[in-house]
Amino acid sequence: MKVKVIARSEEEFTRERRQDLQKVFRNLDPKLHQQEKAVEYTRALNAAKLDKVFAKPFLGAISGHRDGVSSMAKNPRRLNCLLSGSMDGEIRLWDLPKRHMISQYPGHSGAVRGLSVAPDGDHFVSCGDDCTIRLWELPPAVIATREDDEAQEPIATFQGKNAFRSIDYHWSSDIFATGGARVDVWDPNRSEPIHTFSWGSDTIVSVRFNPAEPDILATTGSNRSIALYDLRLNTPLRKLIMQTRPNSVAWNPREAFNFTVGSEDCNCYSYDMRILKTATCIHKGHVSAVMDLDYSPTGREFVTGSYDRTVRIFAYNGGHSREIYHTKRMQRVFCVKFSSDASYVISGSDDTNIRLWKSKASEQLGILLPREKKKHAYLESVKERYKHLPEIKRIDRYRHLPKPVYKAGKLRQTVYDADKKREDRKRAHSAPGSVPHTSARKKRIVAVVE
């Protein structure tokens, strides 16, 4: 007879000393993990509910400006500071973790329309309605210790003929571009622009250099155009004319041939700069004009601020927003920024405040233990797996909205449906082929000019 029975010695399965970790044994046989689908679903449902419980995205408001915040800039070299300019011409430098001002830069007599920090992180430029560009020095790296309220003086001032609406520093070399009546490219050592581009006679409202191909820049103009320029050429590259005015433009930092514009018609449009005849994605959701947008450094999502007093976060390929932020006191949002570590969102609005938000509403801040990280990753993946089930979808998608925004959204939907119906009827009662189907991604494009 050969016989063996299960015999476990307790020492092998328990810890030796109190200080030791408990031993853990796994058997991944599905036989021992019964009803795993139901259990996973329950975990996903609970995770979705917990996300709602922990969704506290608003971290704080930073007040100090005496007028609405019109522009903001982040320092590419430092995470913890932010520049903001207001409608009264004042520029302030903020310490974000402590939420107080480090220094202020008075000088502009009209609204500050654009701010941009040089790639070395020591200088920044500002431009405004007073037809001037000013070059300023930033305090050294250890800024937290420096708390002098004394007013800073500009290093240099550049005088233009018209008001400037936007400014952007080159990603690598020491030049910057301004948008106003035309596009000017400046060298800080010269008083006159080194390049000037103009195409049509309307105002350029935003200028952005391409992060990967740094000589290319995109602009949006008040003649409803998006234009692409190359500094190496004397003439502009291409121009796209839309039905409504694009207010701002932002390049996707990871896929630098893609850019997104926030438009006056409440939508954002993503384009591939190589194929301009169709948008790659329409991002819907806002109920009023999109004033500003900024990409996350990961390139997977971007934040938008709108005239409808909300801030939304979209996936780079998401048709609808992932997140909506609003407070009772936040007024029209003029500028937004994604922090350089992709975990915060900063918005500046008409109510003179700068607001700091978490980019993931229910994210746990601070340093996480590996076990916590694993747990979060697990819950995220089960939620992803069961996100199509009605209960989880409902909980995950629900966002409380201010009544006017909600109503406006409903109204927009009604108008959209009515338009669609009208077109369908028109098509049904016309000769076949005379009313062609146009894709929504092409519909808003009027022309592409080479």
Residues in touch with another protein (CB under 8 A): 1-10, 13-14, 22-35, 37-39, 41-43, 46, 385-386, 389
- Using only C-alpha atoms, the chain has a radius of gyration, in whole angstroms, of 26
Sheet holding 238-242, edge to edge: 204-209, 216-221, 225-230, 238-242, 445-449
To another protein, the closest distance from the beta carbon of 50 in angstroms equals 10
To another protein, the closest distance from the beta carbon of 275 in angstroms equals 19
To another protein, the closest distance from the beta carbon of 389 in angstroms equals 6
Burial of 432 (0-12, 13-18, 19+ CB in 10 A): exposed
Give Cβ neighbours of residue 267 (< 8 Å, ≥ 6 apart): 282, 283, 284, 286, 290, 444
Q: Which is nearer to another protein, 18 or 403 (CB)?
A: 18
Gap between the Cα atoms of 152 and 156, Å rounded: 12
Burial of 267 (0-12, 13-18, 19+ CB in 10 A): buried
Q: Which is nearer to another protein, 223 or 362 (CB)?
A: 362
Q: Which is nearer to another protein, 18 or 437 (CB)?
A: 18
The tokens describing 388, both together, are: 């199509």
To another protein, the closest distance from the beta carbon of 40 in angstroms equals 8
The tokens describing 433, both together, are: 């082929």
To another protein, the closest distance from the beta carbon of 35 in angstroms equals 5
Strands (E), 161-215: 166-169, 176-179, 183-186, 195-197, 204-209
Q: Which is nearer to another protein, 230 or 272 (CB)?
A: 272
Q: Which is nearer to another protein, 163 or 282 (CB)?
A: 282
Q: Which is nearer to another protein, 370 or 436 (CB)?
A: 370
Q: Which is nearer to another protein, 222 or 280 (CB)?
A: 280
Q: Which amino acid is at 73?
A: A
To another protein, the closest distance from the beta carbon of 390 in angstroms equals 11
Q: Which is nearer to another protein, 41 or 171 (CB)?
A: 41
* Nearest CA among 204, 174, 200 for reference residue 186: 174
To another protein, the closest distance from the beta carbon of 30 in angstroms equals 7
To another protein, the closest distance from the beta carbon of 433 in angstroms equals 22
Q: Three-class SS of residue 247? A: strand
Gap between the Cα atoms of 170 and 209, Å rounded: 6
Q: How many C-beta atoms surround the C-beta of residue 286 within 10 A?
A: 29
